[in-house]
C-alpha cells in the first residue's frame, strides 16, 4: 500500500491524533545519540489510549507498515529513530498514573509519564520508583522499560528489570496482552515481563506498567569525594569499597579528562593533572558510620578524601558529576558509550581505554558507575557524523569489554548503533534464537524493524 493510503487509513481511524507536521516528522528521525534516519517518517500517531495503540497496530499490520514506538526520544542508541515509510507511535501523551498502592508498594502507570514526574508524585506517599537514569527529568517510564535503563543507584537499589512487576503489551496485530502480576512473587509460566524489559520496541508496544515501589530511605544521606593521582588507582579504590562489604547508594568515578572539563565549565580550580575522583553517597540508618568507614578505607587506598559537612556542600559535589554532559558539549560532538564489565575488571578496562586513546589519537573522557562496573566513555570528535576512526576505536572498546567478561551495553541498549556487534556478544546461535523469539511476537517484522537485530 502506498504511503498516502496508510496515512489516510490512520486519519480515518484516529483523526487529529495523526500528525504530519514536517517539523515534528523531522524531529522523530533522531534520538539523543546524535544520529538520524535518512528521511522523515510517514506520520506520528499521538496515542491517547490503549485503543488508539491497537487501532494503529491493526492498520500497520494490515498494510505491512513498520511501527517505531517513541517516548521522549532521549535514547542514546538509535532505538527510536524513525525513517521513510514508518509510522511513529508516540506514547508521550499517555502519561497518567492510574493507581498508587502504598499498601502493596506498587503503582500502575501509562508509559509516557516522565520518570521524575512519577517520582515527584510518589514522594507525596513517601514512596519512590528506584530506577534513576541520568535522563530521569526528560525520559519516560516507557522508554526506561524499553531500554532496561539503569542509573546511579543500581548497585544498591536495582535496575528497571528489578522494578517492574508487569506490563501491558499491544502486539503487532493489535491484540492486548497482560504480562506479569501484581504480587511480589509469581512464577506462572514464562517470565515475559522480563523479556519485554529492554526489548527496545521489537516485541510490541508497552501501553501500561505495574511498577514495584520502595519506601523512601529514611534519614539524611552523606556524600564524600576521594581524589586519586590516576584513574587506575581510583578504580582500585572503588574495588576496595565493594570488597569492604559496605554498599554505597551511589559510587561514581570521573577520570581526569571528564573531571577537568567539568571544572573548566563550572569555573572551579583545575584539578592536578591526571587526578581522578570517586564521588560516593551513603544512605539509610548507617549513612554516617558508613561514610566514616569509607573515608578510612579510601584514605588507606591513597586517596585524598573529603566528607561533605552538610547538604549544601554535598550538592556542590554532585553538581560536578551532573555537569558531565554539558561539559562534554564544550569539547565537541560526543558518542556516549556504555560498556559494562565485572567490577574487578574496571582497572583493566581503564587501561584499555588509555591504550585506545593512544592508538587512535583520541580523547575519551570517561565516567563510570563504579558501584556496578558500568563505564560511559565519551568519544569526542568534530562535526555531525561519527568518523570511521571513532567507530574503529569503539569497536576496540567493545572487543576489550567482551574480553574482560563484560557487555556491549549496560543500560542504553543496542538500537541501531550497536546491532553490528550484537552477534559478537551473543554468538550466532543465540542471535538467531533471539530473533526467532521476536518473530513469535511479531511474525511479519513490523515492530521497530532494523533495530537490535541487523536486517
Distance CA 245, CA 433 (A): 38
Residue closer to a second copy (CB basis): 191 or 230: 191
Cβ atoms of 276 and 209 within 8 Å: the answer is: no
| Beta-bridge mates of residue 333 | 381
Q: Taking CB under 8 A as the rule, does residue 61 contact a second copy?
A: no
Cell of 444: 511479519
Whether the CB-CB separation of 206 and 169 falls below 8 Å is answered with yes
The beta-strand segments (E) located in 242-314 are: 250-254, 276-282, 304-307
**Applying CB under 8 A, what is the total number of residues that bind a second copy?**
85
Residue 198 found at the interface with a second copy (CB under 8 A): yes
DSSP result, 25-39: HHHTTB-TTS-B-SS
Q: Name the residue among 417, 266, 236 with its Cα closest to residue 337.
A: 417
Q: What is the smallest separation between the CB atom of 153 and a second copy, expressed in angstroms?
A: 12
The contact mask relative to a second copy for 140-179 (x = CB under 8 A, - = no) is -------xx-x---xx--xx-xx------------x-xxx
**Part in contact with a second copy (CB under 8 A); list of ranges 16-24, 85-93, 102-110, 269-277:** 102-110
23, 187, 309, 312: residue in contact with a second copy (rule CB under 8 A): 187
Q: Please give the residues from 243 up to 272 whose contact with a second copy meets the rule CB under 8 A.
A: 243, 245, 247
> Does the protein bind a second copy through residue 332 (CB under 8 A)?
no
Q: What is the length of the chain?
A: 455
Q: Cβ neighbours of residue 117 under 8 Å, at least 6 residues apart?
A: 95
User: Which listed range, 45-53, 97-105, 298-306, 377-385, lies at the site for a second copy (CB under 8 A)?
Assistant: 97-105
- Residue 329 is placed in which grid cell? 558539549
Instruction: Provide the minimum distance between the beta carbon of 272 and a second copy in the complex, in angstroms, as a whole number.
Output: 28
Return the number of the residue (72 or 408) whose C-beta is nearest a second copy.
408
Binding mask 302-331 for a second copy (x = CB under 8 A): ------------------------------
Stretch of residues binding a second copy (CB under 8 A), selected from 110-118, 256-264, 382-390, 435-443: 435-443
Q: Which is nearer to a second copy, 266 or 300 (CB)?
A: 300
**Which range touches a second copy (CB under 8 A), out of 49-57, 114-122, 193-201, 254-262?**
193-201
**How many other CB atoms are there within 10 angstroms of residue 338's CB atom?**
22
SS3 427: coil
Please report how close the Cβ of residue 3 comes to a second copy at its closest, in angstroms.
Answer: 31
- The single residue among 186, 272, 329, 330 that binds a second copy, judged by CB under 8 A, is 186
R_g of the chain computed on alpha carbons: 22
CA angle 9, 13, 18 (to 5 degrees): 80
Nearer to a second copy, 55 or 155 (CB): 155
Residue 184 within binding range of a second copy, rule CB under 8 A: yes
State which of residues 45, 59, 438, 446 lies at the interface with a second copy (CB under 8 A): 438
Q: Which is nearer to a second copy, 127 or 320 (CB)?
A: 127
Across 229-323, the runs of DSSP E, i.e. the strands, are: 250-254, 276-282, 304-307
Sorted by sequence, the CB contacts under 8 Å of residue 50 that are 6+ apart come out as 168, 170, 176, 207, 208
Q: Which of 206, 235, 175 is nearest to 55 (CA)?
A: 175
Cell numbers that stand for 10 in this block: 490512520
Among 44, 82, 386, 452, binds a second copy (CB under 8 A): 452
CB of 364 to a second copy, least distance (A): 19
As a whole number of angstroms, the longest Cα–Cα distance in the chain is 70
The 391-430 contact track toward a second copy, x by CB under 8 A, reads: --------------xxxxxxxxxx---x---x--xxx-xx
Residues 334-393 that bind a second copy (CB under 8 A): 340-344, 369, 371-374
Binding test (CB under 8 A) with a second copy, winner from 11, 58, 101, 306: 101
Q: In what order do the strands lie in the sheet with 106-109?
A: 97-101, 106-109, 205-212, 164-170, 176-180
Q: What are residue 375's DSSP bridge partners?
A: 368
Amino acid at each position: 500500500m502506498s504511503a498516502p493510503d496508510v496515512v489516510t487509513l490512520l486519519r480515518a481511524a484516529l483523526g487529529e491524533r495523526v500528525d504530519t507536521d514536517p517539523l515534528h516528522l523531522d524531529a522523530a528521525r533522531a534520538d539523543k545519540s546524535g544520529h538520524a534516519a535518512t528521511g522523515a517518517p510517514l506520520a506520528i500517531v499521538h496515542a491517547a489510549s490503549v485503543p488508539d495503540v491497537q487501532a494503529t497496530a491493526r492498520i500497520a499490520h494490515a498494510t505491512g507498515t513498520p511501527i517505531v514506538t517513541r517516548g521522549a526520544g532521549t535514547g542514546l542508541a538509535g532505538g527510536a529513530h524513525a525513517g521513510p515509510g514508518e509510522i511513529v507511535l508516540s506514547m508521550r501523551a499517555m502519561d497518567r498514573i492510574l493507581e498508587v498502592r502504598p499498601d502493596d508498594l506498587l503503582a500502575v502507570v501509562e508509559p509516557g509519564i516522565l520518570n521524575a514526574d512519577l517520582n515527584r508524585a510518589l514522594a507525596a506517599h513517601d514512596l519512590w520508583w528506584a530506577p534513576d537514569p541520568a535522563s530521569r527529568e526528560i525520559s519516560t517510564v516507557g522508554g526506561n522499560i524499553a531500554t532496561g535503563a539503569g542509573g546511579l543507584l543500581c548497585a544498591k537499589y536495582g535496575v528497571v528489570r528489578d522494578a517492574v512487576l508487569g506490563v501491558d503489551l499491544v502486539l503487532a496485530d493489535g491484540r492486548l496482552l497482560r504480562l506479569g502480576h501484581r504480587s511480589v512473587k509469581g512464577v506462572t509460566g514464562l517470565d515475559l515481563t522480563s523479556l519485554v524489559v529492554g526489548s527496545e520496541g521489537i516485541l510490541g508496544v508497552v501501553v501500561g506498567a505495574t511498577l514495584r515501589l520502595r519506601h523512601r530511605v529514611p534519614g539524611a544521606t552523606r556524600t564524600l569525594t576521594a581524589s586519586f593521582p590516576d584513574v587506575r588507582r581510583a578504580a582500585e579504590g572503588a574495588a576496595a569499597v565493594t570488597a569492604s562489604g559496605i554498599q554505597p547508594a551511589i559510587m561514581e568515578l570521573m577520570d581526569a579528562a571528564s573531571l577537568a572539563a567539568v571544572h573548566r565549565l563550572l569555573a572551579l580550580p583545575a584539578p592536578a593533572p591526571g587526578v581522578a575522583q570517586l564521588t560516593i553517597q551513603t544512605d539509610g540508618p548507617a549513612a554516617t558510620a558508613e561514610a566514616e568507614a569509607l573515608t578510612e578505607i579510601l584514605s588507606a587506598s591513597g586517596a585524598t578524601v573529603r566528607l561533605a559537612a552538610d547538604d549544601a556542600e554535598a550538592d556542590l559535589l554532585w553538581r560536578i558529576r551532573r555537569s558531565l554532559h554539558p561539559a562534554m558539549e564544550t569539547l565537541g560532538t560526543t558518542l556516549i558509550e556504555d560498556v559494562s564489565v565485572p567490577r574487578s575488571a574496571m582497572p583493566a578496562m581503564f587501561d584499555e581505554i588509555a591504550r585506545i586513546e593512544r592508538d587512535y589519537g583520541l580523547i575519551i573522557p570517561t565516567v563510570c558507575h563504579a558501584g556496578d562496573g558500568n563505564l560511559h566513555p565519551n568519544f569526542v570528535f568534530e562535526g555531525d557524523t561519527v568518523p570511521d576512526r571513532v567507530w574503529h576505536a569503539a569497536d576496540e572498546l567493545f572487543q576489550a569489554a567482551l574480553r574482560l567478561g563484560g557487555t556491549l551495553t549496560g543500560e542504553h541498549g543496542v538500537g541501531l548503533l550497536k546491532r553490528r556487534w550484537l552477534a559478537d556478544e551473543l554468538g550466532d546461535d543465540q542471535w538467531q534464537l533471539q530473533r526467532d523469539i521476536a518473530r513469535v511476537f511479531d511474525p511479519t517484522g513490523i515492530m521497530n524493524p532494523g533495530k537490535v537485530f541487523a536486517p
